[in-house]
Structure 1
Amino acid sequence: MPRNLLNSALLLVFAFGLPGPSNAAWKNLTVSDYKLKQSGYSSTIASFDKALLNVQVGDIIGDINHSNPSTAPNVKHLVTSSGYSWESSSDFDDANTDKWYPQGITTSADAYEKGDFDGHRVHLVSWHSDNYDDGKRGARVAFVNRGPGGTKKYRHVLLVQPKGEDDFEAITGLHAGGILWYGTLIYVVDTTGGLRVFDLAHMYQVDGNIKDNIGKSGTKYGAYGYK
């Protein structure tokens, strides 16, 4: 199967304001001060749900394709030696690449108190590509299988946003400086814009053979080779 995996989930930046210096008196803030507005993305997401194969977290974990070699920091009084690194092979090298950089980490234990998501123990690690291809490939998330007795492997998922009524694009310049998994939502820090929220209910499989484009290509969809 193609080496990587694409994901389309959509987000909006929430902007919170405080009273300006011209205000004479403090006003207690209430829920009504924070109004969530629905974006125009909803109809586009609905069209993706019909046009593309919608995959689940379990589908990703069942189709992981890169190894996580065991590793441990060289420090005194090490509490656990269950650390891992990234694949380094002749045709794929996350361990030494200067195109992508890992940033934030969250786990299925953040998502739910029981510690797993649909029966899977998973780490999510955000990566940015600020210095690669002018940052146009945006950000991705590594889904790492950490289940007991399971194979310690991972697969990358590309973060995208809608473009028009039937297309999507990478989020240029998304630094993904932090990440939090809560329920079915993934909160990703956008350094200059606030938070972007991605929904795991809308992850899509595309044609991994389309390596040079992202979005709609004729009757198919691709994402720089991500599956």
Structure 2
Amino acid sequence: MDDPVPGHEGMPDDGFDDEPEGEQDDLAGTGTAGASRGAPAAVVPGRPADFRLAKGTDLSGLVTGLDAGLPKQGLTELMEQANRPAADCGTAGIYGPDLTVSHRVCWKSDDATSSEWVPQAISGVSDAQEDEDWGTSNAEPVAVGGYDAANPGRSDYIAGRDDCLRSSASDACNEKGIRVTFFNRATGMYRHVLLVWPYMNSKDHISFDALHAREGRCNPVVVTGCAAQNGIHAGGMVWYGDYLYVADTANGMRVFDLRRIMDLNPDNDDTVDDPTPDGLVSNVRDKKLIGRQSNVWYGYGYRYVMPQVATLKFTTAKNTGTTSGNQCYATGRPKASYISLDRTGTDHMVLGEYCNTNNGGSSPGRVGAYPMTALTAAVEGAAGTTAGADQAYGLPAGAKFGDEDLWHKIQGAMRYEGKWYFHRSNAYDNGRLLQASVGANGELVGNTKTLQTSFGPEDLYLAHGRGDGFPPRLWSLSEHAPSKCGVCKREVYSYPMAEVISSFG
């Protein structure tokens, strides 16, 4: 038998730090408070060495164990089986007047209004392959990452909360971590995939759980380690080749392999349990269970799960300053708040920080760029293999946005043909697209012009068009459900990159 169903007793910690409370909170603090606390008047140094990443504990044996136990599915086939229709977007009420929005994709009604799942990160086939041609599919997939933001009544014995598995608990109770949604742009359909972390359970059987989402159930003995983990934010994502890199704010990046998507319902009939290669069965009806429980495989009701295959962790120590109000600092490890891919020269990944200077700190944020060859070598190398950034910059400083700093609250960044572009959020109102260039002193210098974008703007992704012959387009997405404000809405959308460039002058 496996771990008893109620508890996950003996499940190990994944070894990653918790992310701070108030993750990416635009409403924390005020502009005047930030000024009184001495918001930086000069650009902070980038310090590339602070961005160094090292591969964590080798997970290959665990993933091989899952490979042997569960059937796999390719992304091409998954796209053909996409089961959720995108909705009609209707009028473009969430957009500003400065750019022409198109290629809008809207979520099915439950995803569009969900308080549990909040979209954050975006990538796609242009990041994955130079030729933009994924296998035999013409889906031209766009991938969106979302995090589990609501866990009502969740198990946490340290906090004295009850068990999510009680009969009255909502199936939203558990912390489910992160899911990735693949849109089939040819059919207008999409499918969710749950990201998971592999581990050996207390009966020495291979299993998996949602990312950084241990429920905290330890009974009858309750110790500090029984506190529930908060999950991760996944504010950025890059799909490059077979690997999916997902930002983990406090730690670095988690890496997944699209060749290792596990299928818990191969016959596409959720009314019966499917046999698995290890002699067990899988169940996609029960939305409260995850991993191998009493010799049955579960995935919180999701058909597809994709296990983490590697970790890339910052080697620099954290700054000792508080981060509870989204403060950032000029030294120490950065936050991995968002990531994107630059294919305009030697392929690089851009990584940067969301910061809120209204609560203090010594930096409005930093960005760094890593050669993809170094990141791939770290993922495929032995534990401890490092990947360094070859460039790093502090964000521009000094410009104002109303009564607060302009250059903070950055939700996404990308570099294209030597220019830097940043998506700046603005609570429940239109955000701004910003542009910066590297100046004569080796610092980022901000363009004085800003472009009004959507409500709740998030991560950035460039569809370069070199493979399919289309003009480059800048993709992003909005995070806010309609319940957040009168005109809030969740959409995935793009702008013509040529118009973005010309609009900045």
Answer whether contact 2:145 2:180 (CA < 8 A) is retained: yes
Q: 2:247 aligned with 1:189, yes or no?
A: yes
Structure-2 residue corresponding to 1:102: 119
Instruction: Determine what percentage of the aligned residue pairs are the same residue.
Output: 32
Task: State the alpha-carbon separation in 2 of the partners of residues 130 and 189 from structure 1.
Answer: 16
Instruction: Give the paired residue count.
Output: 192
Task: Identify if the C-alpha distance between structure 1 residues 100 and 36 changes in structure 2 by more than 3 Å, giving closer, same or farther.
Answer: closer
TM-score by length of 1: 0.76
**What amino acid sits opposite 2:69 in the alignment?**
A
Distance (Å, rounded) in 2 between the aligned partners of 1:196 and 1:36: 10
The equivalent position to 1:130 in structure 2, one of 149, 152, 163, is 149
| Whole-angstrom distance in 1 between the partners of 2:250 and 2:115 | 22
> Residues 142 and 157 of structure 1 are in contact (CA less than 8 Å); yes or no, is this contact kept in structure 2?
yes
Is 1:166 aligned to 2:206, yes or no?
Answer: yes
Check 1:81–1:214 CA distance in 2 against 1; reply closer, same or farther (3 A cut): same
Question: What letter corresponds to residue 209 of structure 2 in structure 1?
Answer: E
Q: Deviations over 1:17-42 (max 9, x none)?
A: xxxxxxxxxxx98xxx9764551x22
Report what 1:224 is aligned to.
300
Aligned to 2:60: 42
Structure-2 change in CA distance of 1:128 and 1:55 (3 Å): same
Q: How many angstroms apart in 2 are the aligned matches of 1:179 and 1:116? A: 19
Per mean C-alpha deviation after superposition, the further-off stretch among 104-113 and 66-75 is: 66-75
Q: In 2 relative to 1, CA 107–12 (structure 1 residues): closer, same or farther, beyond 3 Å?
A: farther
- 1:177-216 paired onto structure 2 within 5 Å: 177-206=235-264, 207-216=283-292
Distance in 2 (alpha carbons) for counterparts of 1:82 and 1:35: 38
Instruction: Measure the CA separation in 2 of the matches of 1:191 and 1:107.
Output: 21
CA distance in 2 between counterparts of 1:12 and 1:125 reads 26
Stretch deviating more after TM superposition (130-139 or 52-61) = 130-139
Deviation at 1:43, TM superposition (A): 1.6
Q: 1:67 and 1:78, CA in 2 relative to 1: closer, same or farther beyond 3 A?
A: farther
State the TM-score, normalizing by the size of structure 2.
0.36
CA drift at 1:97: 1.0
Q: SS of the residue aligned with 1:94?
A: helix
Give ranges in structure 1 of 5+ residues lacking alignment.
Answer: 1-10, 14-27
The corresponding residue for 2:84 is 66
Quickly say closer, same or farther: Cα 1:77–1:69, change in 2 above 3 A: farther
Q: Which runs of 5+ in 2 are unaligned?
A: 1-13, 17-47, 155-173, 214-230, 265-282, 304-505
Please tell me whether the aligned partners of residues 107 and 122 of structure 1 are also in contact (alpha carbons under 8 angstroms): yes
Instruction: Give the deviation of 1:127 after TM superposition.
Output: 0.4
Deviation at 1:77? 6.3
Q: Is the 8 A contact 2:208 2:291 kept in 1?
A: yes
Cα shift at 1:121: 0.8
Could you say if the C-alpha distance between residues 34 and 76 of structure 1 is closer, same or farther in structure 2, counting changes exceeding 3 Å? closer
Q: Secondary structure at the match of 1:161?
A: strand
Does structure 2 conserve the Cα–Cα contact (< 8 Å) formed by 1:116 and 1:122? no
Matched, 1:52 2:88: no
| Residue of structure 1 aligned with 2:132, choices 112, 115, 122 | 115
Q: Considering only CA atoms, is the larger Rg found in Structure 1 or Structure 2?
A: 2
Quote the offset at 1:126 in angstroms.
0.3
1:95 partner SS: helix
1:139 has 2:175 as partner:
no
Determine the C-alpha separation between the residues in 2 that align with 1:210 and 1:169.
15
Q: In the alignment, is the contact (CA less than 8 A) between 2:53 and 2:252 conserved in 1?
A: no
Considering Cα pairs closer than 8 Å and 6+ residues apart, tell me whether 1 or 2 has the greater RCO: 1
How much is the aligned-residue C-alpha RMSD, in angstroms?
Answer: 2.4
Aligned residue for 1:50, secondary structure, equals helix
Letter in 2 for 1:199: D
Mapped to 1, the partners of 2:114 and 2:187 lie a distance apart of 23
